Amino acid sequence: MTNSTELDNTAQETTTITVAGDGGYDIFVGRGILNLVDDALGTAATKVLLVHPPTLGAKAAELRELLARDGRQVLLAEVPDAEAGERVEVAAFCWQIMGQADFTRTDAVIGFGGGAVTDLAGFVAATWLRGVRLVQVPTTVLGMVDAAVGGKTGINTNEGKNLVGAFWAPEAVVADLDLLETLSRNEILAGFAEIVKAGFIWSPEILELLEADVDAATDPTTPQFRRCVELAIEMKAKVVGEDFREAGLREILNYGHTLGHAIEHAERYRWRHGAAVAIGMVFAAELSRLAGRLSDEAVQRHRDILESLTLPTSYPAGRWPTLLATMQRDKKTRSGMLRFIVLDDIARPTVMTAPDDSLLFAAYQEIAD
């Protein structure tokens, strides 16, 4: 467990977390560090597409002023917020701006927003001229600890979430914690679902910080909050550095996501990602318990922590057939067999392949309301 002195010492510093492997990059965490975006773009990028949601229009204009020097042209692309922006029509709008401005392979894209915006910006960068430079500047908790880190990019279709996408690593990720201070409490708590996931599959210290003082751990101004964010990023950076294209270890990051994505689809992407994943994690924990892998106490710990964050832990009983059909189309399914990340214990994730339908149904009954 990290002591308070260690937490306080990191308050004013910029933390650099490196993603290793081919095409590795740095993730910077700190306060007032948007100047690092300019360094990450490099001198070759003379045109930059700055993708942002409507709510960040003023901040995007400020960032443009910061970056528009030495003749660099910075074009703003305002896109719909949240899942409404993760559509091929929105990607085409970005491609149109780049085409009309004659973007070349040495130019760049910046994703400035939450997870949906960074997913979209990454996909646009990966597909324009088969790949241009990308810098991610996440402005939400979810974006900082998950969506902007790891190089997975994508858009949604009518058939499911992120079924169309590409692996495309950024040049850098700049996580400026000052950008979080205007977020609503609900937005912060929903983003914490991914941090909790990191706690259950990798870093139990996160769970201890939340159990010790949930208010302090979820307040963007505290060292406990920063510690939770950095632990979650460190986990993802290590996993992605070892397995960029999800051939092995990276699959553990899908904990809670198989059912979570199905719930998002059932709710037509009107739910926050974190709310759906919270239910998905309780389902995965129940599946682990019913398979004889996980203790009752560990399952209850899931419920207690997620409910302390006011996140949902149940879903209507009658929705199971629809959810099962959606999961069977999920990109995590292989050779027609469903795959779930389950736990043998806290921080001991493993894969369960093709569980029996009766076991899945029994686990769902445990979360049904």
Match 């682990």 to its residue by tokens.
288
Give yes or no: 130 in active site. yes
Known catalytic membership, residue 161: no
Catalytic residue, chosen from 133, 272, 273, 301, is: 273
- Of 86, 171, 194, 230, catalytic: 194
- Per the annotation, the verdict on 35 as an active-site residue is no
Give catalytic status of residue 302 as yes or no. Answer: no
Q: Which residues pair with 173 in a beta bridge?
A: 27, 136
Check if 186 is active-site.
no
* Stretch (H or E) spanning 359: helix 357-367
What is the secondary structure of 21-35 as a DSSP string?
Answer: STT-EEEEEESS-TH
Count the neighbouring beta carbons within 10 Å of the beta carbon of residue 234.
19
Q: Smallest Cα–Cα separation from 265: which of 130, 160, 134, 358? A: 160
- Backbone φ and ψ for 337, nearest 5 degrees, come out as -105, 130
Return the exposure string of 311-338: e unless at least 16 CB atoms fall within 10 Å of the residue's CB, then b.
bbbebeeeebeebbebbeebebeeeeeb
- Catalytic option among 152, 161, 197, 227: 152
Catalytic residue among 3, 69, 89, 130: 130
From the list 52, 87, 161, 257, the catalytic residue is 257
Pairwise CA distance, residues 79 & 91, whole Å:
9
Among residues 230, 234, 246, 264, which one is catalytic? 246
The catalytic position among 64, 226, 261, 303 is 261
Cβ partners under 8 Å of residue 182, min gap 6: none
Catalytic hit among 254, 264, 265, 303: 254
From the list 52, 226, 227, 250, the catalytic residue is 250
273 is catalytic: yes
What is the total residue count of the chain? 369
Is 236 known to be catalytic? Answer: yes
Distance CA 230, CA 240 (A): 15
- Catalytic annotation, pick one of 47, 64, 87, 236: 236
Instruction: Burial-class residue 22 by CB neighbours within 10 Å (0-12, 13-18, 19+).
Output: exposed
Q: Residue 35, class by beta-carbon neighbours within 10 Å (0-12 exposed, 13-18 middle, 19+ buried)? A: exposed
**Catalytic (active site) residue 331:** no
| Exposed / middle / buried, residue 263 (Cβ in 10 Å: 0-12, 13-18, 19+) | buried
Catalytic residues: 130, 152, 194, 236, 246, 250, 254, 257, 261, 273
